[in-house]
Amino acid sequence: MEFSFPPEAERFRAEVQAFLADQLTAEVLAATREGTIHAPAMHKAMGELGWLRAAVPAELGGGGRDPLELAVLVEELQLAGAPFDAMAVTIIVAIVLLVHGSEFCKHNIVPGMLEGDLLGCFGYSEPESGSDVAAARTRAVRDGDEWIINGSKMWTTLAHIADYVLLLTRTDPDVAKHRGLTFFVVPLDLPGIEIQAVHTMGTERSNATFYDDVRLPDRYRVGEINGGWEVMKTALKYERGVTGGQLPSPPVIDAAISWIRTQSMPDGSAMLDDPTVRETLLRAMIDVEVCRSLAYHTASLASSGVMFGVEGSMTKLFSSEAYKRHCQELQDLLGPDGLLTHHNADAPLGGLVEEHVRHSPVTTIYGGTSEISRNLIAEMHLGLPRNR
Amino acid sequence: MRTIFNADDEAVHDAFADFFAKESPMEAVRAAEPLGFDRRIWEALAAIGATGMSLPSDVGGADAALATVAVVAEVFGAALAPVPMIEHTVASRLLHQVAPTHPDIRAVVNGSQIATLALRPPMAGNDATLVPAGAVADIVLALVGDQIVCTCNDAPGISARNTGDLPIANRCLDDAVVLGAAGSLFERAVDEWRALTAVAYAGLARRVLEITVGYVQQRQQFGVAVGTFQAVQHGLADASTRAEGARLLAHRAVWALDTNRRDASRLAAMALVFAAETGRFAADRALQYHGGYGYAEEYDVQLFHRRATAWILQLGGPSTELRRLGTIEFGRQTAIKETHPKEPANRKTHNADANRGSI
């Protein structure tokens, strides 16, 4: 086996690092603390550099950047603690439109998304359906050349700043649940759409969105009528592809170590010399190398033209569970000071560890819960009977 | 970046998977207990050139990279083969490094002499205790101070009875001769042992999970196969996820050693700790999902469970390895001082730079 990146990818890494040194200022990071995990100027700059288009496979008309280079991009964004959720989601929406969308969508929506001018968000979950995503009840009913949409969506994160929502609807309630679904890409400024904030313990703002007799021309339909599940499969496939590199822990570990280096134990010895402190840090660092190895594996498979499946679930499961564990253990190492939020001038590392402790629980839920990941691994990797 | 075996690796993998299936079935593993060594299997391994494959061809080896040995170590680990393949490999590489003209070098490479190393340096004047493969090795290398010494006294032929039925034994170093002063070469050999043992653990974990996945689809309780229960499925999914991570990290550590990356030693220690704990976790889940039968001697799971417990302990437990890793990452622990000088809070500490260098 061979675990080094090709020279082009390392050159691109240097380019990304220089970009982040320039763009990811303290002000940009501070702005994300208000709850919207997005950096508009940085996103637009990436669009202008062609990085968003480059992330789209060549066969779909994108730049077809080598998945190893995409892995480098995601790795550097994560190591720097840069917000990139909106980037990843928008790229996936653009890919879904290129695969399944109408000519209208391909020509009027996708270019703006890939240039960094338009943002997309996901509209899959509903108040009564999360992991059971195919149970969606938001109704779309045909009326001539238009559709009338009624229903509500949960966890439409970024909807308050996004231009379009990739909306999963039910178009036939009388067939098996997977067979009566249709996707639309819906402009969020249409009459009848209401966006309500859902505030979270991680400070991150999500949304509930409500659709009340929203009228939408058929050219916004994505994929076949009642063919929504095929579209869903494309979205999930590229969700694993684009966001394959999962490495959220290193900025938190780095921060904790730099603070611990300044601290003494009650007996005057250095805190970093304490064996239990060291063991906690080292176990987290080992997990990081495991995450890195798993992420390199998926990137390497994708680069060699293999569309991976269960490997993406394994990476997601391990890295999110590890991240959540690390955050709590690192906060514990900081002691009572670890409780202090960034509102306190003397919070360790500006409250960074504390913020991650509140953010981390969502990562084992969104993008496929740990339980769904385990189901998929048991079924696809181990060949055990389907169980849900 | 290539995280899968290439065609050559696949050929080696398949050949050795066949070899261990034929020469070292579970009956042979059982029959070799409690010594943990089967000379017939060792001789068969030597006959196909596996005992010195990574040594230079001018001493009878095959110039193979450590990565090729790792391909073998994975199937070796899955088979629990009762032969000291990893100890012999790293000891013979060390012997060749420190004493390339040693009179026994060809005998070691062709396997007619078994070599090993005392992983833990003995105190000067003392025996080397609980040496891996010490019960059967003809040549034992040890680090005393900064001296690499070698003894060729008779192997005891019996092991100190132990959890994993491994051929560990004390070896007297009174007649040891000094080969050279090169502690760093010895450290490198132990790092190779760490990385190859990590790969073997990954093989063990994968195999014990395969056995268990088969079992839970057969075993019926409450009228259905126990493998249909989510509680069982999720434990197996967690264990197999960790096994995949352990396998990739172990092969990455071997690659780092082969290419002399500066983080090779760090990765070898990390790979060993993670793989050992993963092997133990997988064996624990396997035993649990076999129910009472997993505890029974008659079933193979206990063979895996005991070796998963034992392999890393030939060097030291995970906490011992973590203490050493802490020295690599953070430096030696300093003595208690009256006041500890404060360091700037923004000092770059986590070795992200070292990681960068490695990828």
Give me the pLDDT at residue A313, please: 92
Rounded CA gap, B77 and A388, in Å? 35
Nearest-neighbour CA in chain A from B323: distance (Å)? 7
Q: Taking CB atoms and an 8 Å limit, are A275 and B251 in contact across chains?
A: no
Q: Does A2 touch chain B (CB under 8 A)?
A: yes
For residues A97 and A239, the model is more confident at A97
Higher pLDDT, A84 or B18: B18
- The minimum CA-CA distance between A151 and chain B, rounded to whole Å, is 33
CB contact under 8 A, A286 and B355: no
Average pLDDT over residues A65-87: 93
Cβ pair A349:B270 closer than 8 A = no
Q: How many residues does chain B have?
A: 359
Chain B residues with CB-CB distance to A272 below 8 A: 330
pLDDT at B64: 98
Under an 8 A CB cutoff, do B274 and A286 touch?
yes
The whole-chain average pLDDT of chain A stands at 95
What are the helix (H) ranges across B144-263? 183-218, 230-258
The answer for A 202-231 residues in CB contact with B (under 8 A) is none
For residue B322, the chain A residue with the least C-alpha distance is: A279
- Say what the pLDDT of residue B357 is: 36
Which chain A residues contact residue B355 at CB under 8 A? 292
> In this predicted model, what pLDDT tens digit does every residue of A164-222 receive, in sequence order?
999 999 999 999 999 999 999 999 999 999 999 999 999 999 999 999 999 999 999 99
CA distances from A246 to A78, A241, A371 (A): 8, 11, 18
Best B69, B217, B229, B244 member to test A by mutation, with max A CBs in 10 Å, is B244
The pLDDT of residue A39 is: 95
Which residue positions in chain B have pLDDT lower than 50? Answer: 338-359
CB of A282 within 8 Å of a chain B CB? The answer is yes
Q: Closest residue of A to B256, CA-based?
A: A3
pLDDT for the residue numbered B352: 40
Enumerate the residues of chain B whose CB falls inside 8 A of the CB of residue A277.
Answer: none
CA–CA dist A227, A264 (Å, integer): 62
CB-CB neighbours of B328 under 10 Å: 14
A381 — contact with chain B (CB < 8 Å)?
yes
H helix intervals, A101-178: 103-108, 110-114
Which tokens in the block code for residue A151? 């229903």
Q: Contacts of residue B216 in chain A, CB cutoff 8 Å?
A: 384
CA distance A104 to A185: 11
pLDDT score of A298 more than 70: yes
Burial of A18 (0-12, 13-18, 19+ CB in 10 A): exposed
CB distance A383–B273 less than 8 Å? Answer: no
Asked if A262 lies within 8 A of B248 by C-beta distance, the reply is no
Chain B residues touching A292 at Cβ < 8 A: 355, 359
Q: How many CA atoms lie within 13 A of A316 on its CB side?
A: 28
**Which has the higher per-residue pLDDT, A151 or B357?**
A151
pLDDT band, very low/low/confident/very high, at A241 (cuts 50, 70, 90): low
**Contact between chains at A281 and B252 (C-beta distance less than 8 A):** no
Which residue from B304, B313, B312, B311 is spatially nearest to B286, judged by alpha carbons?
A: B304
What phi, psi does A386 have (nearest 5°)?
A: -55, 135
Q: Averaged over A124-144, what is the pLDDT?
A: 97
Nearest-CA residue of chain B relative to A385?
Answer: B228
A299 in reach of chain B (CB within 8 A):
yes
Cα–Cα distance between A93 and B288 in angstroms, integer?
A: 44
- Cβ contact, residue pair A282, B326, below 8 Å: yes
CB contact under 8 A, A299 and B1: yes
Report, in angstroms and rounded to the nearest whole number, the Rg of chain A calculated over CA atoms: 22
Chain-centroid distance of CA A266 in Å reads 42
Residues in chain B closer than 8 A to A378 (CB atoms): 233-234, 236-237
For residue B236, give the chain A residue with the closest CA.
A378
Total H helices, total E strands in chain B: 13, 8
Whole-complex ipTM: 0.96
Beta strands in B94-134, from DSSP E residues, in sequence order: 115-117, 128-131
pTM of the entire predicted model: 0.94
**Alpha-carbon distance B150 to B33, whole Å?**
28
pLDDT at residue number B26 = 98
CB-nearest partner of B244 from A250, A279, A314: A314
A1, A13, A299 ranked by CB distance to B255: nearest: A1
**Residue bearing tokens 């490479």:** B109
Q: Do A285 and B245 touch (CB under 8 A)?
A: no
Residues of B within 8 A of A290 (CB-CB) are 242, 245-246, 248-249, 274
Q: Check residue A121 and report its DSSP letter.
A: E
